[in-house]
Amino acid sequence: MSLEASSQTITLKVSAKDNPVEFPSGVTPLNVLQSHSGLPNDAVAARLNGSILSLTQPITEDGELQFLTFNDPEGKEVVFHSTAHLMAQAVTELFPGVKLAIGPPIAEGFYYDFEVERPFTPEDLQQIEERMEKRANDKLPVERFVMSREEALDYYKKANQNYKVELIEDFEDSSFSFYRQGDFVDMCRGPHVPHTGYLKHFKLLNCAGAYWRGDENRAMLQRIYGVAAGNRKELKDYLQKLEEAKERDHRKLGRELDLYSIHDEAGPGLIFWHPHGARIRNIIETFWRDEHYRRGYELVYIPHILRENLFIKSGHLENFRENMYSPMQVDNIDYYAKPMNCPGHILIFQSHLRSYRDLPIRYGELGTVYRYERSGVLHGLLRVRGFTQDDAHIFCRPDQLEEEITGVIDLADFMMNAFGFDYRLCLSTRPAKSIGSDEVWEHATETLRRALEKNGKPYDTEEGGGAFYGPKIDVLLLDALGRTWQGPTFQLDFNFPERFNIDYIDSDGSKKRCVMIHRTVLGSMERFLGNLIEHYKGAFPAWLSPVQIKVLPITDDQHDYARKLHQRLKSENLRSELDDRNEKIGYKIREAESLKIPFMFVVGKKEAEETTVAVRERGRKDHGVMSLVEALHFVRKATEIPRSSLQMD
């Protein structure tokens, strides 16, 4: 449009350094870009007064106009979403009669679900990608238009697109927005890039089966995943990162290192720990228990099933039922496999009358819980149906609350540092589905906010991300590839104390209400171990490694010395294995490297005669020959367990 096309004007601030500028009403962000210097020439979308706009969307109100590039999260989402449409266009052209489902942007790219006569092959993906490149080069305008509800239903029914019909029927909107590029039309809220020429750097990654709406009782669709980038280098770097992620995949490494398995005959999402995996888990759990005792926690155990009335009282059946398994009947009473440990810890607290002097009371448990997850979202150790979480509940007086929260943040910080993770903090507020009054939630949220600010570390805020019973602080782990994982979490709860009448006797003899803190400082053991495997690529720090030293005799003549050495290491509480197979020493060393053993003690004729060892470290580092005393000192120093400076309460 011409900037002189309208007699009405609007005022837009388009640069932090410049004063607001008048423009004709109906001007588009693209018009502004073309008429105003100093703005980003790689913009893909815009933000006006908090709303995200297409560059071709007319503006009819005053405000601050910001331009978004691929480096902005919202700009990246627009590119991902637009590329998903480009892929769907290519699929409809190459596979006539295909039925379209949904194609959203996701954190690391995009996908689109299709119903086709047969699964897509790698050759199909190559063809689709080539057609996408052709349509990108065509620079097809991407145009938005609106249909009424009736028009949209009629359009998709005639096109035999039943998934789109179902989506429309699920919404009460009177009209729906659509986007057209060439002959391809898709229902979508948008926004999108102005034309397909903006989409230059993309790659289709793989195809997988996906149930419609995640429901295993619905149709199985074909989901194509892809990624887009702002330039060729970014795409190359991202694809390299994906290759590295494949090498770090805990499912692959779990098999290679023989850590765990999952068996369909036993049930999906249920983990079987093998000896080496169980050893790592036991090391972590022992470390966890010792540190909790040092910090004044008492460890408890509760049953795996509990009566229905507890979950009615807690609100779990009302607010968490979709994640719980069906009940089992015992003596005509319904029992549930526990999805959380908190009701059981409350019963232990209430087994005695508590004085204000007794508080705070901190109960910890490595408690196994069971939650239903759809089969389509199960993912190795990271998404399971039965898991053990390092759960704890703190019962305290209101005046102790801030100190207790600070203590939990400090414990989480120590744990993350001990295991080598960077992290960031996030405050999550009241969700739509929750219990309790607004006043209680506001007080709890502000208490957590004060504790975070006192801690001095930066934090994000996620509106509506809290638990149904209280706001929470999430600790998000950052692994070696910069990916974010859910880690420790702690919730402040004024609601359960009200529901369960959790009281203490105050100094004046009156009953007062406790406050509860729910918290984990690792999360679930399964997910945390999956994160550890990927973070370290299976090469755990020596203190965590299931096998710390592999003793490798060069010939049969050194077997007696190697066995004695192996036994000595075990007596020193070092985790040793002996490889006395009739294999060449080079083969044994390569295998120990592939199994990511931190240290190898190689012994030949001279070492056996002189009671020495040739010390080799993972990563092909040769430390030469040492006396046994020197070697033990060297390894002990490398395998020291991290310790906090806190003293036992």
Catalytic one among 99, 223, 316, 393?
393
Cβ 142 vs Cβ 194: under 8 Å: yes
Residue of 472, 550, 596, 616 marked catalytic:
472
Catalytic residue among 192, 223, 371, 616: 371
Which among 207, 342, 396, 514 is annotated as catalytic?
A: 342
Grouping H, G, I as helix, E, B as strand and the rest as coil, residue 534 is: helix
Provide the terminal-to-terminal Cα distance of the chain, rounded to the nearest Å: 73
352 to 346, 347, 396, 401: CA distances (angstroms): 11, 9, 15, 22
Q: What is the largest CA-CA distance in the chain?
A: 100
Check: CB of residue 424 under 8 Å from CB of residue 416.
Answer: no
In the residue annotation, 371 being an active-site residue is answered as: yes
Cβ atoms of 549 and 574 closer than 8 Å: yes
Residue with tokens 């228990």: 289
449 is catalytic: no
Strands 422-428 and 328-330: unpaired
Give the single-character DSSP code of 558: G
In whole angstroms, what is the distance from residue 223 CA to residue 377 CA?
14
Is 511 assigned a catalytic role? no
* Residues in CB range of 343: below 8 A, 6 or more apart: 306, 310, 311, 313, 314, 316, 500
Does a cis peptide bond (omega within 30 degrees of 0) precede residue 275? no
Catalytic residue from among 391, 413, 474, 493: 391
Active site residue 295: no
Q: With contact defined as beta carbons under 8 Å apart, do 376 and 211 qualify? A: yes
Q: How many helices (H) and strands (E) does the chain have?
A: 19, 33
The total number of residues written for the chain in this structure: 649
Examine the residue annotation and report whether 518 is marked as an active-site residue of this protein: yes
Got the DSSP string for 626-640? EEHHHHHHHHHHHTP
Helix H, strand E, coil C: the string for 392-448 is EEEEECHHHHHHHHHHHHHHHHHHHHHCCCEEEEEEECCCCCCCCCHHHHHHHHHHH
H/E stretch holding 467: none
**Cα–Cα distance, 404 to 396 (Å, whole number):** 8
Residue 139: left (phi > 0), alpha (psi -120 to 50), or beta?
left
Query: In 3D, which of 325, 317, 407, 316 has the Cα closest to residue 360?
Result: 407
Q: Which of 201, 248, 250, 518 is catalytic?
A: 518
Tell how strand 175-181 and strand 184-187 pair up. antiparallel
Token pair 């070092």 is found at 574
Q: What is the DSSP letter of 59?
A: B
Give the residues across from 492 on adjacent strands: 517
- Nearest C-alpha neighbor of 40 from the set 19, 55, 59, 27: 55
Q: Which of 561, 551, 560 is nearest to 585 (CA)?
A: 551
Burial of 297 (0-12, 13-18, 19+ CB in 10 A): buried
Is 396 in the active site?
Answer: no
What is d(CA 132, CA 85) in angstroms, rounded to the nearest whole number?
10
CA distance 118 to 396: 60
Q: Of these residues, 57, 89, 222, 389, which one is catalytic?
A: 389
Is the distance from CB of 447 to CB of 556 less than 8 angstroms? no
Give the integer Cα–Cα distance in Å for 413 and 533.
20
158's enclosing H/E stretch is helix 149-158
- Annotated active-site residue 457? The verdict is no
Task: Point out the residues that are catalytic.
Answer: 342, 371, 389, 391, 393, 472, 518
